[in-house]
Amino acid sequence: MLETLRSLDHQLLLAINHAHTPALDAVMTFASDRRVWFPFYGLLIIWLLYHFKRRAAVLLPVLIGAVALADSLTSRVFKPIFGRLRPCHAPDLATQLHLPDGCGGQFGFLSSHAANSVALAVFLLLVLPGGRFRGLKAGIFLWAGLLSYSRIYLAAHYPSDVLGGALVGAALAWGAARLFERLSRRPGLGSEQNKPVSS
């Protein structure tokens, strides 16, 4: 069973990685570079400050904490413990891969990019009012999906690395959203938007 799953993981990686074009190389390399998203993060923080007002003093530390924890768990706990080589470092795969962005660190399980981006997307899905901001929510999930997909396309991660990272990020986001809901009920933080977090 495990060997079958491993084989499927490898096959899916190769299928995605081999479906490359010069244009896709540029898009995926761009999407995978965390630095290019800093202006987006800055604008998002400004918008959250505007939208949540006093409650942003609770929301931002909780959100940043969830993303930082997702990054630390995947990079400093899972990767050293499991010691699973990135595809581009694996002797049986490295020569078959297209690597437009180099290889990166030695270990790949779990994907920090996937964990961080999904943590942000799921947290905002849960804390933003139900029927509102559909465009923003969809855009953030498309961004998280593109970022996660790019890690497979660039052969930095197996699909299972990305899926596992996404699950860790989603779980942390759910916990952070519950914590925010509880903390934001404190007096003095305003009640105009104190609605329950989506289940």
pLDDT tens per residue across span 161-185: 999 999 999 999 999 999 999 998 8
pTM value is: 0.88
DSSP reduced 3-state for 108:
coil
> Mean of the per-residue pLDDT values for the chain?
90
Q: For tokens 């006093």, what's the residue?
A: 54
pLDDT tens per residue across span 57-79: 999 999 999 999 999 999 999 99
Q: What angle do helix axes 112-127 and 159-183 make, rounded to 10 degrees?
A: 30
pLDDT tens per residue across span 128-164: 987 778 889 999 999 999 999 999 999 999 999 999 9
Rounded distance between C-alpha atoms, residue 104 and residue 122, angstroms: 27
Domains of the chain by start residue, with CATH: 2-183 (1.20.144)
